[in-house]
Chain A
Amino acid sequence: MQIKILRSETNTHQSYTLPAGEIPLLNALSYIKETQDATLTFSAGCRASVCGTCAVRVNGREELACAYKVKPGDIIEPLQYHPVLRDLKVDKHRAKETLLKSTAWLHTSQEASLTHRDEKLSERQTDCILCDSCYSACPVYAVNPDFLGPFALTRAYRYTTDKRESNAKNIIDNVQSNGVWDCILCGECTAVCPKSIDPKMDITMLRGLSVQEGYQDPSFTTQSFGTPDFGGGGFGFDPNAGF
């Protein structure tokens, strides 16, 4: 079977031939590197969908290379909105910046009486492997490179729900600018998450917590209510979406 991989040096899709049979994409990439073309560059780690290293785009959709089974004609490209270092390898340092800005950690720790139900409240969110798939799928980055992004906000939400945090307002304060209100709730992040996390819902929850802390949607006051307003997106959705 043949697959095509976007090469950064030539900015073209290069075809590679693989033996027939169902294998994970990561095995296919390794096979190419080991037997055909040592210059093909990609990142990989655990092979078991838990280290978050090998996310790429397959036919325009984010996938973990170790968990995606290759099909004939697949087109493999690097993640979007990340500087491409070489071929499928991208710079993921923005992850650290957004996590730092959103201050996604326990600020003031207190002893709490946690239950099985409390564990469930953040179980999904703490499954995050920082693979950057959601970030790559997020259309907000096309217009706002400073957006905190899905995984940083999911992580911020995870800590605000933690009963061991006695000062969750700190975190809420730090996700207002380029944060919860800049999301357009399109759900692309949720659709591509390999760990079935729902950042869209987490962001919605953070909006609720923000309102409880006295914040409101900053575009709310400039929003026009008299006529349809297709430019603002102030209510958190794009009325043109889907057309």
Chain B
Amino acid sequence: MIDVLIIGSGGAGLTAALAAKHAGASVAVAGKAYPTNSQTSMAQGGMNAALGNVGEDDIDSHIADTVKSAKGLCDEAMVRYMCENAPGTIAWLERLGVPFSRLDNGKSGTQTIAQRQMGGASAKRACYAQDYTGLKILHTLYDTCLKEEIDFLDEHYLLNLVTNEGTVKGATFLDIRTGEVKQISARSVIIATGGYGALYHGFTTNAYGSTGDGVAAVLRAGGAVSDMEFIQFHPTALKHSSILVSESARGEGGYLVNEKGERFVDELKPRDEVARAIFSQIQEGQRVFLDVRHLGEEKLMELLPQEVELCKLHEHVDPAKELIPIQPVAHYTMGGIEVDQALEVQGIKGCFAVGECSNVKVHGANRLGGNSLLEITAFGKLAGEHAYQYALDASSQPVDDTQQQKDAEAIEALYTQKAGVNFYPYREKLGNLFYNKVGIVRDNAHLHDALNEVSAMQEMQKEMGISDKSRSNNQNLIDFLEFQNALILAPMIITSAIARDESRGAHYKVGFEQEDEALKKHTVIQWKKETTCK
């Protein structure tokens, strides 16, 4: 039996794997794609650490900025832990060989790492690697995992956690290649499966795979989720493709302008405020653009090469000469699996969660740019260490294959069941519904509408199924399982949003435009009794 099973092979999962292995654990990493395919590859802008390499900065300012943006919903001890560990985490990544962008200051080590300003930050604090920061950190972590001989189980889709009396014993997976349902036993489990932004299908910067599979699995296994209503909308996604234009474009001096060419917001405010300002312009019938022309072609190619390429490809505009049409879309899910300060999941012993899927309460109601790459690496390390500590004392009593049998039967049922209704249009419908009714500006009437529509969709789900009956490499099946998870999470998000009759951070509700002191608390949801979602 392995000590630590890590589910999810993005930045958080790889960091946890390296930390657990370093501590002495036997480790396996299971992911539904390949490690370097993860959402982490898309993080562009940077990773915060108060190094003070460019101007004055200190850890207390980093903490203060983070706490302020969280709007009263963070755990200050965890924010302190993260910010204090930021310089050390950068130093660790530096030792692994992350190719950060550099300054010419004659110094050495992390002191030569360039830093840029991100929204809501009081200093140039984000360490970056052009606009490929996530990609370059992810690949360096992967290279190091190969060096450390970490075991990878690629193309393993998480079905369920295996638990016994509230203690995790492993997890079941669909081996996508063979179609086989497998049970993997472990003394402890780390969930690092990423966020649920892909629920906003068509209106998200996220990859197709960010479907919250781990969050849904935790709910099914009796664990708790929290703050699900807090979904960050990134102010600047390309208008027609929802592809991200990094906040660093504004950090480097880009302006937001409306059709009349007027600036209407301080571009360096936190994302929630900027997104709402853009949204209100759009509601007034204005188109909104990002203007980076004044930065000049050379600087753009130096600082934002990826953006330039994506704008040309998807919007047919050259940012050096033309305005970039943008709109805010879903970008990051602050809420997720409810964990304690040791990152252990509430309700499931021995199960830990880290990264965007977990709610360790460092982002609160609104995440600052540059804090997510920090979160996955700083807390990924902690998760790996804590999971191994737990594993040392955990029972290695094997569990029976009840869960595996149950899951195999459920999958088998999908093969025999007739797929009367095509679920793909509903996936799109759900994305539209969420963008329009559970979006940047919410109100109770629309939220109730959305809840009704989701209920109808859940009812309709019984008629849906897979029309591809292949046993192996069945992406139609995976898409459907992901959609089922989306339909589990959708009502969690809506009901949490309905319950929060106030406006706080990314959650903004018409009729309740102010923060309500009485609601300065977390929304926690837990299913009373384990039920299947069929």
Q: Chain A residues in contact with chain B, CB under 8 A?
A: 24, 33-35, 38-39, 41-53, 67, 85-86, 89, 92-93, 95-96, 99-100, 103-106, 109, 111-119, 122-123, 126-130, 155, 158-159, 162, 164-165
Contact = CB atoms under 8 A, between A and B. Distances in A.
Contact of A123 (B41, B99, B103, B177): B99
Interface string B398-412: 000000000000000
A112 to B, nearest CB: 6
A105 B130 contact: no
Contact of A109 (B42, B95, B244): B95
Interface string B425-448: 100100000000000000000000
B102 A164 contact: no
B475 interface: yes
A93 B34 CA distance: 9
B33 A45 contact: yes
B55 interface: no
A164 B495 CA distance: 51
B470 A50 contact: no
B517 to A, nearest CB: 41
Interface stretch (B143-151, B224-232, B348-356, B507-515): B143-151
Contacts of A34: 422, 424-425, 428
Contact of B473 (A41, A105, A165): A41
A126 B99 contact: yes
Nearest to B467: A38
Contacts of A24: 313-314
A43 B313 CA distance: 20
Contacts of A104: 143, 146
B30 to A, nearest CB: 15
Which of A47, A112, A129, A165 gathers most chain B CB within 10 Å? A47
B102 A51 contact: no
B99 A39 contact: no
Contacts of B42: 46, 48, 50-51
Interface stretch (B131-139, B358-366, B451-459, B520-528): B131-139
A111 B108 contact: yes
A82 to B, nearest CB: 12
A92 B33 CA distance: 10
Interface residues of B, number: 61
Contacts of A93: 154
A215 B124 CA distance: 46
6 contacts: A38-B424, A92-B34, A103-B147, A129-B36, A130-B139, A158-B99
B529 interface: no
Contacts of A106: 95-97, 143-144, 147
B285 interface: no
Contacts of A130: 34, 36, 139
Given A48-B243, A113-B108, A119 B136 contact: no
A86 B472 contact: yes
Which of B97, B101, B129 gathers most chain A CB within 10 Å? B97
B54 to A, nearest CB: 13
Contacts of A105: 97, 143-144, 146-147
A48 B112 CA distance: 30
A44 B198 CA distance: 13
Given A24-B313, A47-B243, A117-B104, 7 more contacts: A38-B466, A45-B209, A49-B313, A104-B146, A105-B147, A109-B95, A111-B109
A26 B339 CA distance: 37
A109 B313 contact: no
B61 interface: no
A45 B475 CA distance: 12
Contacts of A119: 99-102
Interface string B83-119: 0000000000011110111111011110010100000
A113 B105 CA distance: 9
Contacts of A46: 37, 39, 41-42, 207
B177 A164 contact: no
B96 A123 contact: no
Interface in B447-497: 466-468, 470, 472-476
B470 A39 contact: yes
A41 B422 contact: no
A158 B129 CA distance: 15
B33 A53 contact: yes
Interface in B327-384: none
A171 to B, nearest CB: 11
Nearest to A107: B147
A140 B203 CA distance: 43
A129 B470 CA distance: 30
B241 interface: yes
Given A48-B42, A114-B112, A127 B132 contact: yes
Contacts of A111: 108-109
A113 B107 contact: yes
A109 B470 contact: no
Interface in B383-417: none
Given A45-B207, A159-B97, A96 B146 contact: yes
A164 B140 CA distance: 13
A209 to B, nearest CB: 17
Contacts of B184: none
Given A51-B38, A123-B99, A126-B139, A89 B424 contact: no
Contacts of A44: 208
Contacts of B33: 43, 45, 53
A221 to B, nearest CB: 34
Contacts of B108: 111-114
A115 B309 contact: no
Contacts of B208: 44-45, 47
Contacts of B104: 115-117
B310 interface: yes
Given A51-B38, A126-B136, A129-B41, A115 B102 contact: yes
